[in-house]
Chain A
Amino acid sequence: MKPPRWFRWRPAAIVLGLAVALALLPPVARISVYTQNQLTLTFVTIAAALAWNWLGGYLGQVSFGHAALFGLGGFVAARLQISAHLPMILAWTAGGLVAGLYALAWGHPTLRLRGPYFSIATIGVGEATRLVCTYWDWFTGGSSGMSLPVTAGLKLQLYWYGIAIALVGVATSYWLRRSPLGMALLAIKSDVDAAGDVGISSVRLQDGVLFLSGLAMGICGAFNASYYSFIEPVETLGFEKSISFVFMGVIGGVGTILGPALGAVVFVLVRQYFIASYPQLYLGLFGVLLVLVILFEPLGLTGLSLRVARRFGYRERPDLST
């Protein structure tokens, strides 16, 4: 069987090798529980950052409301596990599907808006979702949130699931960028009307990407709830959560394939450092990074590393740029 045209052996082998090495870390290298937990959170954050990028990067529709999808997926999954005793993975899937559908519900009409107006609409969606979910306390537990049953050994299991989720996220990112579909998305991003003229069904494609993004976000949120055995609406659905995805995308490189993953790693590391020593300062630091990136290197860390690589004589293949 021949692999599809967008498939490349080398990156696939590197990513897969890295995943296997990471998966073997806890039993072989005996890393501390704390390190293992931090890695778990990094994996799921990577997946979420990539999912944001499908919309924000590939379609150029920057969402300030993705926490709504992240949180909704978490709440649906948590509620199903508590009240219907659904198995974890099934509950995650359900959470992801609901989040995907919810994304379609508000995204289908708002995706017609271009540029800043879509972003503004997503702020409204995010905040309204937070308020309604907080009020709706029989479903979300109100501002206090709700606890999931505490199970022994779950954290190690989640470590491996986290790797799997991140891996699927990376594969999807490649597919969405490199397949003929990716070219169509690029066309929509550059000029919706012109894309329509050459026969690209922009509404269906945009809706599809949006649904995928919502689905992945919902699953990440559900994973997060299982990880903490706890979920509450104020932070999970908060504006700061939404903008954290924007940070990861912008810092790593909006629209690049693996940039947001890099951004997610940086975000988790920096936040983890600042949160114990200088809590609340990290927002300002990310503000500075945001300004610097936009002014000097719109492709973020990816652009920076490409620039450095070029200095050392590296020539990228034309289809690799962005």
Chain B
Amino acid sequence: MIEHLLDLTVSAFLLAGLYATMAYGLGLIYGVLRVVNLNHGGMIMAGAYAAWWAHDQFGLDPYLSIPIILVLAFLVGVLTYAGLVRRLPRGAAGGVQSLLLLFGVWLILRNAAYLVFSGNDQTVLTSYSTKALPFLGAQISVNRLAVFGVALVTLGALHLFLTRTYVGKAIRAVAQNPESCTLAGVPVQRIYMLTFGLGTALASLAGALATGLYAFNPGFGATELLKSFVVVVLGGLGSVAGTAVAALILALVENFSILVIPSYLTSAVGFVLLVLVLVLRPGGLFGQRVLG
């Protein structure tokens, strides 16, 4: 029993890395632009297919293709912002509109993937796909460990970027008050574009990482999007530490729920948690207001 609990804890920690990566991009875009990027799910899917395609066509290891995928996804994000999102009013009225718009983009992306790759489930099979390392008596899959490692590095780099660089500080400033940023000479539009690209790139990174753990098809990303919402709502916006803690909470709750409820219902736990958090603590655990 103790071994089982240990197993669950370890796997929750490893999973939390992926969840945090997945959610951070969504939270960043909402925090800075006040736009709910429903296409986040689409970009997770696109990232997964990109990694799979590179591996399938050129035998490129999924972890090695990550830099290319990041750059491409960043460009997609910039284009999405410049071509579509910028045309909408920001603020309360624009909130639902941009949500629907980006949802439309997601559907188009999904269908494109369907036309190109068919609806079959795909998996990336590498030499180490089924390898595992012993750890405290448990077996830890090499892939999960690698995903966790990449997630840690990414989050660390993001934290440094946002707190130590000029651009990062500008992003944070725009998130707090775009008007005074304009007055202070910060190119707000460009910061918006950059942020959207960054968030989109993070989504595709999560997708590429997920290929090591899951099978996927063009519908992939929907569940991941919902889990990202849970993490964002729980952890509040923009804080790397908050996101990480929230991701860990979600992973722990999901993993340990198997002890009390049938395994079938464990995937519903995240959704219930989402609604409960929205209703009971709409400000997230760390107090940012998301209401109104």
Are any A and B Cβ atoms less than 8 Å apart in their complex?
Answer: yes
Cβ < 8 Å to B, chain A residues 166-196:
none
Query: Chain A residues near B119 (CB, 8 Å)?
Result: 280
Cβ < 8 Å to B, chain A residues 112-147:
112-117, 119-121, 123-125, 127-128, 131-132, 134-135
- A positions within 8 Å CB-CB of B: 60, 62, 106, 109-110, 112-117, 119-121, 123-125, 127-128, 131-132, 134-135, 239, 243, 246, 250, 280-281, 283-291, 294-295, 298
Cβ < 8 Å to A, chain B residues 84-113:
84, 87-88, 92, 95-97, 99-101, 103-108, 110-112
Most buried by A among B84, B105, B107: B107
Query: Chain A residues near B282 (CB, 8 Å)?
Result: 113, 117
Q: Are A291 and B105 in contact (CB under 8 A)?
A: yes
Point out the residue from A109, A246, A281 that lies within 8 Å of B279, measured CB to CB.
Answer: A109
Q: Are B271 and A127 in contact (CB under 8 A)?
A: yes
Q: Hey, what's the 0/1 contact readout for B231-257 against A, CB within 8 Å counting as 1?
A: 001000000000000000000000000
In the complex, A60 Cα to B226 Cα: how many Å? 22
Q: Are B274 and A291 in contact (CB under 8 A)?
A: no
Query: Chain A residues near B96 (CB, 8 Å)?
Result: 60, 62, 115-116, 119
Indicate if B222 sits at the interface (CB-CB under 8 A).
yes
A114 touching B92 in the complex, CB below 8 Å, given contacts A120-B229, A281-B111, A284-B111: yes
Indicate if B278 sits at the interface (CB-CB under 8 A).
yes
For the complex formed, measure the closest distance between the CB of B114 and the CB atoms of chain A, giving whole angstroms.
6
Question: Which label, helix, strand, loop or mixed, suits the secondary structure of the B interface?
Answer: helix
Task: Known A-B contacts: A120-B233, A120-B278, A124-B271. Give 16 more (CB < 8 A).
Answer: A119-B96, A128-B275, A134-B264, A281-B111, A283-B107, A284-B110, A284-B111, A287-B104, A287-B105, A287-B111, A289-B104, A290-B101, A291-B84, A291-B105, A294-B100, A294-B101
- B positions within 8 Å CB-CB of A: 36, 84, 87-88, 92, 95-97, 99-101, 103-108, 110-112, 114-115, 119, 222, 226, 229-230, 233, 262, 264-265, 267-268, 271-272, 274-275, 278-279, 282, 290-292
Query: Chain B residues near A127 (CB, 8 Å)?
Result: 226, 268, 271
Q: Are A115 and B95 in contact (CB under 8 A)?
A: yes
Q: Are B104 and A288 in contact (CB under 8 A)?
A: yes
Q: Are B104 and A291 in contact (CB under 8 A)?
A: yes
7 closest pairs, A vs B, by CB? A284-B111, A287-B107, A290-B104, A128-B271, A124-B274, A115-B95, A131-B268
Q: Are A291 and B108 in contact (CB under 8 A)?
A: yes
Q: Are B103 and A290 in contact (CB under 8 A)?
A: yes
